[in-house]
Homo-oligomer: A and B are copies of this chain.
Amino acid sequence: MNTYGKQFRITTFGESHGAGIGVVIDGCPAGLHLDLDFIQHELDRRKPGQSKITTQRKEKDEFQILSGIFEGKTTGTPLTLMIWNEDAKSKDYAHIAEQFRPSHADYTYQQKYGVRDYRGGGRSSARETAARVASGAIAKLLLQPLGVQIYAYVSQVGKLKLEKAYQELDLSLTEDNIVRCPDQAVAQQMIALIDETRKKGDSIGGIVTGVIKGVPVGWGEPVFDKLHAELGKAMLSINAVKGFEYGSGFEGVQLYGSQHNDAFYTEEGKIKTRTNHSGGIQGGISNGADIYFNVAFKPVATLMRDQESINTKGEAVTVSGKGRHDPCVVPRAVPIVESMSALVLADFYLRNKASRMND
């Protein structure tokens, strides 16, 4: 279904070229002051057309609140945000109607549902992530007073990899460049690579790294709803994501347990670990250390090039590249990764309230 979360629960709706994209948030506690400028600021970080290295679709991504707010605060009832589409009407989609674009969802939607809204990808368009960012902004507002800080940045574009670990970076510099990499030198290389890719009408993949500080001990659930399992699901549900790893990740499989185990010690009355291969999560539950993870994004499927494919009758056709395309999705994915992190954490924060007797 189109719902994420158990206690802080979002349901998104809308299509790329319908009326707009929206989200209902159910379970947001009453009394939260909604900073509307902050929500818009977050949407602006995701919106198309913000720099030369992203898609040039024209959308202001302004939101309207349809329900759940009164005198600037949440009321405990469903909070609905709508982002109306502007750049939706004039297109001629006849050519897409009859074709299955390579590595898009055209074919699978058609087979599953027997009908599909082919205009700009319809429901499968990454435009749906605007709803995630809007609701993620509200989740951030909920988490902020608790001291939770959520960061994300681009750590790889194509083969260009930022070799420094997050601890060696100043994450406050991420927004200083259009590719959202906190190392300014590497950022310039990434920008050049994306720009060059764009000029070729091609696209390229990348990695977004997420870092969450200040999560108290105890969030997450044993067994299926482990904190990292939900983070993983949330990230994998973002368009174009192909992989997720946290803590020591795929590299960690090469280690011995004697290298990998994080030794506990006490410093100034606080329990800490000497290393953090666990990535801040043990047994599915936060242990108070930093949570960090990587999210792999494939190159987006829309190209400004001709590609071989088939039409809905199964006949060979050439899909021509026209319109606008996003040469690399990761810069705009940064606020999406942050938002999904915030949504996962807000949910566990509320779920944790019921975990023991003397609370």
A positions within 8 Å CB-CB of B: 1-4, 6-7, 9, 11-15, 18-20, 22, 24, 26-27, 29-32, 64-71, 73-80, 82, 100, 102-105, 107-109, 111-117, 122-124, 128, 156, 158-159, 197, 202-207, 217-218, 220-226, 228-230, 232-234, 236-237, 242-250, 252-266, 269, 271, 273, 277-279, 281-287, 294, 296-303, 305, 307-310, 314-316, 350-359
B247 touches A237 (CB 8 A): no
Shortest distance from the beta carbon of A112 to any chain B beta carbon, whole Å: 4
Q: Do the beta carbons of B11 and A316 come within 8 Å of each other?
A: no
Q: Which among B26, B65, B207, B218 is the interface contact of A112 at CB below 8 angstroms?
A: B218
Copies in the complex: 4
Q: Contact: B282 with A104, CB < 8 Å?
A: yes
Q: Nearest Cβ distance between residue A105 and chain B, in whole angstroms? A: 2
Complex interface: chain B residues within 8 A of A287 (CB): 107-108, 111
Do A156 and B104 touch across chains, with their CB atoms under 8 A apart? no
A–B pairs, 17, beta carbons within 8 Å: A3-B224, A13-B78, A19-B65, A77-B117, A103-B261, A104-B283, A112-B352, A112-B356, A242-B279, A243-B246, A253-B296, A260-B301, A261-B303, A264-B309, A265-B316, A271-B314, A351-B354
Cα separation A254 to B78 with both chains bound (whole Å): 35
Q: How far is the CB of A308 from chain B (nearest CB, A)?
A: 5
Besides A115-B356, A229-B232, 4 more A-B contacts (Cβ < 8 Å) are A13-B66, A15-B77, A77-B117, A107-B217
Contact A67 B18, CB 8 Å, known A7-B354, A252-B298: yes
In the bound complex, do residue A24 and residue B30 qualify as a contact, i.e. CB atoms below 8 Å apart?
Answer: no
Complex: A302 Cα to B234 Cα, angstroms? 30
Considering the complex of A and B, which 5 residue pairs feature the smallest CB-CB distances, nearest first?
A: A105-B283, A243-B245, A205-B253, A203-B257, A30-B113
